[in-house]
Structure formats: C-alpha cells, structure tokens
Structure 1
C-alpha cells in the first residue's frame, strides 16, 4: 500500500521533470486533476494535461516547452495508473492464493 501511495505522487512528477517541466506544472497538473474529477473519467485525463499546460504557461514557459512538459505529466499520470493497477493485481493474486490455501486446509 505504501508503494502504491508513493507511486501516486512520484511518477507524474518524474514524467513532468523528465520532459522539462517546472514546479508550476506539477501544481497545475494536480489542480487540473482534482477539478477534472468533477467532469467524470475523461475530465481526469483532460484536467491532468490541461492543468499542467496552464501551470507551465503561467510560469512563463513558451508554448512548445509547456506542451512538452504537460505531455510528460500526462504520460507520468498514465504510467502511474498502470503501475498501480499492476501492483493491485499482484496483491489480489497473493490474497486469492492465500484464501484458496486456507480454504483447502478446512478453515
């Protein structure tokens, strides 16, 4: 659980930094993600990208650099979702295996 929580924060920031983003882009992406939650599943994705883009533009980045950084934030967001799904699947696998083992023992 701790690893999943750390991934939730680290991976999008890593993506943003990898593509040349700033702290303003991180904040913009986070705020966009929160606002996007009220617009449904598609809004989350649009919010993460749009917020990162807006944050970078407000920080004074040119549009090309800001778009690249926002794409990095979005890629990090998607990578984080994929890693969390994979880790949750692994935990579910182990929990299911333990349940089957204990059920087979007659408990």
Structure 2
C-alpha cells in the first residue's frame, strides 16, 4: 500500500479559491475605506483603492484582473492627488480670486495636509489662506471671502470627483471578476 504525501489537486484548488475570495474581500474593504477617504483627508482614498488593486494582482496573479486595469487605476490615483490642488485653485479663480487668492488656496492645500487635525484643516486651510492672501493683495473683505468660498467649492468638487473614481474602480473591478466567472 502506497501513501500519498502532499495535498490533492482538489485541496489546492479550494485553497486557491479561499485565497482569491479573501483577496477580493480585502479589495472591497479598501474600496469602502477609500471612498470614505475621499472626504476624510486623513485617508488617501483613491491611492488606497489603487494600492489594493496592485496588491491583489501581485498576490493573486492568476486572478482575471488585467494589468492594464491596474495601471490605469494607478495613473488615475496620481492624477486624483493633483486634482486637489488644481480644483481648489480653479474654484478660487472661478469665484473671482486674483492670483493672490489662487496662490493662497494652493498653499492652503499644501499646509492643511500637515496641520492637526487634518480633517478640519484640509478644508479650512485653503479657505483661510485664499482669504488672507486675497485680502493682503488688496481685495476687499467681501471679495476675499468670495475667493475663500470658491476655494471650498473647488475642494468639495475635488472630493466628489475622487469619490466617483473609487466607485468607478469598484465597478470595473467587479466587472472584471464577474465576467471571468461567466
């Protein structure tokens, strides 16, 4: 009588499925946290979602997730980070800020990331800096306040776009996984 050592192919397949399922569950958890992170500045939402996709593909290489999708998600995450600066600046300009107010908004985003608690300062610092720079540049308090409001609108719009990017990644990820099973 010969004894078999090692795992059967049935057990290996089941282990692979459990591993894949665990990876999928962790990616969805990252999507949920990433979606919240689009509005909570402590968490880099889109970057977290893209990083989860990269890690999933690396650790579950036999998954149906394509490297093209992972690359697009990574590029979008970098662009989303730039979007914070651009949309905050654009919001200030759209509401009548001069170069001083727009520069203040830009500086405010950069400074707000590092001030505790970041949840407050990521939105407040650009508004305050836009107001202060606009006012120091010679604008009336009313015009400076308008520039500050535009900064807030731009930052909020940026958060919404980043949230939509995470949702898009989640749907695309789901489509790639489900279509492979069909």
TM-score w.r.t. the length of structure 1 is 0.83
- Equivalent residue, structure 1, for 2:157: 79
Q: Is the 8 A contact 2:105 2:130 kept in 1?
A: yes
Structure whose alpha-carbon radius of gyration is higher:
2
- Equivalent residue, structure 2, for 1:11: 87
Distance in 2, Cα, partners of 1:92 & 1:85: 11
Could you list the runs of 5+ residues in structure 2 that have no partner in the other structure?
1-75
* Cα deviation digits, residues 64-97 of structure 1 (max 9, x gap): 0000011011111111111111122112211121
Q: Does residue 100 of the first structure (1) align with residue 182 of the second (2)?
A: no
Higher mean C-alpha deviation, range 51-60 or range 3-12: 3-12
Where in structure 1 do 4 or more consecutive aligned residues deviate above 6 Å? none
Question: Which fold has the larger relative contact order, with Cα–Cα distance below 8 Å and residues 6 or more apart in sequence?
Answer: 1
What is the Cα-based RMSD across aligned positions, in Å?
Answer: 1.9
The structure whose residues are more often helix, as a share, is 1
Distance in 2, Cα, partners of 1:32 & 1:12: 9
Could you list the runs of 5+ residues in structure 1 that have no partner in the other structure?
none
Distance in 2, Cα, partners of 1:32 & 1:6: 14
Distance in 2, Cα, partners of 1:86 & 1:74: 18
State which of 42, 64, 70 in structure 1 corresponds to 2:148. 70
TM-score w.r.t. the length of structure 2 is 0.51
Structure-2 change in CA distance of 1:13 and 1:32 (3 Å): closer
